[in-house]
Amino acid sequence: AQALELARKPHVVVATPGRLADHLRSSSTFSLRKLKFLVLDEADRLLEQGCADFTEDLELILEAVPRRRQTLLFSATLTDTLSQLRGLAANKPFFWEAEAQVRTVEELDQRYLLVPEALKDSYLVHLVQTFQDQHEDWAIIIFTKTCKDCQVLNMMLRKFNFPSVALHSMMKQRQRFAALAKFKSSIFKILIATDVAARGLDIPTVQVVINHNTPGLPKIYIHRVGRTARAGRKGVAITLVTQYDIHLVHAIEEEIKAKLQEFCVEEQRVLDILTHVNVTRRECEIVSVQT
């Protein structure tokens, strides 16, 4: 169906890099030789090398488009890669940055939990258990730094009988849609996600956001916690902060013009489950490597 649509030579094509590259590889009739405008939305994510590496697909697309064209990059975050690209451009590019009018909303209760790096997973399990016990119907999003962490934490929480599902960029598109549908329909109350879920996706009402890692950029923090306290509703955001993350918290507080308040837990309960959590995590890491 998509190939037929492309055969009609549409004026505008909206596509993911992978899907567009697939059509370029498989079709002898589809061409981008007459393209005049190339737009990269979420450019920071597309140009980031990591668990979602679009380099190969983008290189194929750039080889297929004419040299004389206008290229537009849109991004909610100005990363080092984008800054370097701006400096390397042969012609001085036009650059515009919008001033954010809203940092975080007043309805959002922003908290931090200072934890030793080695105990982070135990604190996470305790947090999830606490919210599940107090508010069984609440929806929770847990943000992680990497696809591997996302997958392992999901496996670990499932071992503790929490209704969780993973969402990250290494999953195929149909798997992402299925995971999101299960979360939206409340089949699963916990979504563990990388930053792919922080923006641009239709996420339902969420009561709690937990940052398993402290975001390296304040804007990433704002995108993450923006998944809750929407449309005038109240929400809670808790960031797990290790001894190595204090400077990141200060940068976040400076950006949002607010202080994160400490979230208190019963530390003995965390210590009580420490061994169980560590053993379970290790088992899940082994299974993850094997699969």
What pLDDT, on a 0 to 100 scale, did the predictor assign at position 48? 77
- Residues 202-238 have pLDDT tens digits of 787 999 999 999 999 998 999 999 999 988 999 999 9
Q: What is the mean pLDDT of residues 63-73?
A: 95
What pLDDT, on a 0 to 100 scale, did the predictor assign at position 147? 92
What pLDDT, on a 0 to 100 scale, did the predictor assign at position 86? 83
Domain boundaries, given as residue ranges, for the chain? 2-88, 108-290
Q: Is the pLDDT score of 102 beyond 60?
A: no
Please give the C-alpha separations between residue 34 and each of 19, 72, 196, in angstroms, as whole numbers: 19, 17, 32
Per-range mean pLDDT, top range of 20-29, 92-101, 195-204, 264-273: 264-273
Q: Is the pLDDT score of 240 beyond 60?
A: yes
Q: Judge if 2-88 and 108-290 fold alike in CATH terms.
A: yes
Q: Is the pLDDT score of 196 beyond 80?
A: no
Please give the C-alpha separations between residue 99 and each of 11, 76, 198, 256, 283, in angstroms, as whole numbers: 32, 11, 20, 13, 46
Share of the chain above pLDDT 90, in %: 73
| Greater model confidence, 96 or 90 | 96
Share of the chain above pLDDT 70, in %: 96
Average pLDDT, the chain: 91
What pLDDT, on a 0 to 100 scale, did the predictor assign at position 101? 60
For residue 56 the two structure tokens come to: 């190969």
pTM of the model: 0.77
Which CATH superfamily hosts domain 2-88?
Answer: P-loop containing nucleotide triphosphate hydrolases (3.40.50.300)
3-state secondary structure of 163: coil
Identify the CATH assignment for 108-290 out of 3.40.1160.10, 3.30.465.10, 3.40.50.300, 3.40.190.10: 3.40.50.300
- Residues 126-147 have pLDDT tens digits of 999 999 999 999 999 999 999 9
CA–CA separation, 159 and 154 (whole Å): 9
CA–CA separation, 270 and 121 (whole Å): 9
